Structure formats: structure tokens, C-alpha cells
Amino acid sequence: MNLVEFSEMIVKKLVKEPDLVKVQQFDSDDETVIEIVVAEDDMGRVIGKRGKIANSIKSLVQAKAYNDGNNKVKVNIDSF
């Protein structure tokens, strides 16, 4: 399972509209960016109180990336 599938699986379990979740991966020379886009109504569910859920998602994705041998991963969460 790659980072996109892993991130998508986590976020889809949290939101009310899992069909609208989009996850993309952008690679550059020194880092990988995972962009997670959810419906605007689901942003509160993904961010959580004081950003605890968002930080947990980022930590899980970074841990998965580290296990896969990719040390620099940045996670962006946005809505449409």
C-alpha cells in the first residue's frame, strides 16, 4: 500500500462523504507532498479540536513514509 492509498483509507473512515475525498502525491527532489482534499462540510471532522486529528493523520502518514524509506513527507489538508 502506497502513501496515497494509506492516506485515503484513513481519511475516508473519518468523513461523511468519502466519495469526495481526493488524495494526490507530488514528488520533488528532496521531499514528497501528500495533498488531501475533502468536502468543506467534512473539514471539522478531519481537523478535529485544536487540530488533534489532523496532527494524528500527519504523524501516521509520516511514520508510513519513514517505514517505506522516504524521510521527508509533508501533508497538506484542504477543502473544496
- Give tens-digit pLDDT for 3-34: 999 999 999 999 999 999 999 999 988 899 99
pLDDT level of residue 40 (50, 70, 90 thresholds)? very high
* pLDDT score at 54: 97
65 and 71 Cβ atoms separated by less than 8 Å: yes
Tell me the mean pLDDT in the region 34-42. Answer: 97
Query: What average pLDDT does range 62-68 have in this prediction?
Result: 95
Type and span of the H or E element at 70: none
Q: Is 10 left (phi over 0), alpha (psi -120 to 50) or beta?
A: alpha
The structural domains of the chain, with segments of one domain joined by +, span: 3-79
What does the pLDDT read at residue 29? 86
Residue 48 to residue 76: CA distance in whole angstroms: 15
Reduce the DSSP state of residue 24 to 3 states and report it: strand
Going by C-alpha positions, the residue among 35, 37, 14 that lies closest to residue 26 is: 35
Confidence of residue 76 (pLDDT cuts 50, 70, 90): very high
Question: Domain 3-79 class?
Answer: alpha beta
